[in-house]
Amino acid sequence: MNIYGNPADKKWFVGRYKATGKKLNMGKSCVRLKTLDDLPIDLIGEAIARTPVDSYIQIYETAKGIN
């Protein structure tokens, strides 16, 4: 949610993924991989760490209509 819900984060992720030299196969809310070797684990960790927990909860609650 933190990547497809934020255009700036999506742009960052796509650029960083391309820099790995691996082919990006991305849906609206998923990254598709054929093998585990295709997974740029460091990049995935960076992407997760970019969104603080409090911000993620706020985004989630807004999307669900909880706020």
Instruction: Give the C-alpha separation, 54 to 38, whole Å.
Output: 30
- The C-alpha atoms of residue 36 and residue 8 are separated, in whole angstroms, by 27
For residue 58, give its domain range: 7-64
Residue 2 is assigned to a structural domain of this protein = no
Name the domain count of the chain: 1
Output the pTM of the full model.
0.78
Task: Let me know if residue 22 belongs to a domain.
Answer: yes
- Letter string b/e over residues 21-60, b meaning 16 or more CB atoms within 10 A of that residue's CB: eeeeeeeeeebeeeeeeeebeebeeebeebbeeeeeeebe
Q: What is the pLDDT along the chain (67 residues), one digit of tens a residue?
A: 578 778 899 999 999 999 999 999 998 888 999 999 989 999 999 998 988 999 888 888 988 888 6
Q: In this predicted structure, what is the pLDDT of residue 43?
A: 94
